[in-house]
Amino acid sequence: MEVKIIESNKKNYLDLLLLADEQEDMIDKYLERGVLFALYDGDLKSICVVTDEGGGNFEIQSMATYEQHQRKGYGSYLIDYVCGHFKGEGRTMYVGTGDSPMTVPFYKNSGFVFTVTGYGHGVGMSQYGANLMARDGMDYTEILTWYYTGVEIRRDWNTQEK
């Protein structure tokens, strides 16, 4: 395996970047100021974009592996490489990600600790996490029962619409 730092033509990796962040205008906000790492094992498998947030703090803005290569260790290898690359330059590596059922366990298994700040809407469901789950093929009943355990989702035929 080989990791390359991509310094130019970063938009050439847009197809993979869009797997992690579905809005190109959001990618544009961090791509040019970030360091783009590309993992090759024969061909391209994964990418990761890290930004310097100042004060010795870095943030993983995007991390994606082509679907056919997921769960084969490429993402973990790239995370280890990226963290090792920045270890001497800073003190903290943050992850800017939604809290989907796939991303949280991945980062926890990679040694990240999760803390939550802010108040949100106080409802108990992450709109970003729910959006990622929907992108991964979950329907609304699966998403709602993930966030709200013990609930029953049903149509009440006795309710009249007003």
Can you give the CATH number for the domain in which 43 is found?
A: 3.40.630.30
Q: Are 70 and 132 in a shared domain? A: no
Q: Copy the structure tokens of residue 94.
A: 């943050």
Residue 131 lies in a domain: yes
pTM summary value: 0.68
Over residues 72-106, the pLDDT tens digits come to: 999 999 999 999 999 888 778 888 665 556 676 77
Mean pLDDT, rounded, for 110-138 = 66
Q: Copy the structure tokens of residue 44.
A: 């391209």
Q: What pLDDT does residue 143 have? A: 78
- Alpha helices by DSSP H, listed for the chain, are 14-20, 24-30, 74-86, 103-109, 127-135, 140-147
Q: Are 8 and 42 in a shared domain? A: yes
Q: Are 76 and 131 in a shared domain? A: no
Give pairs for 76-83: CB < 8 Å, separation 24+.
76/106, 76/109, 76/110, 77/1, 77/39, 77/46, 78/3, 78/37, 78/39, 78/46, 78/47, 78/48, 79/48, 79/107, 79/110, 80/110, 81/3, 81/37, 81/39, 82/37, 82/48, 82/50, 83/111
Q: What pLDDT does residue 11 have? A: 95
Indicate if the pLDDT at residue 5 is higher than 90. yes
Q: Are 145 and 70 in a shared domain? A: no
Residue 159 lies in a domain: no
Q: State the maximum Cα–Cα separation within the chain, in Å, rounded to a whole number.
A: 64
Q: Are 97 and 128 in a shared domain? A: no
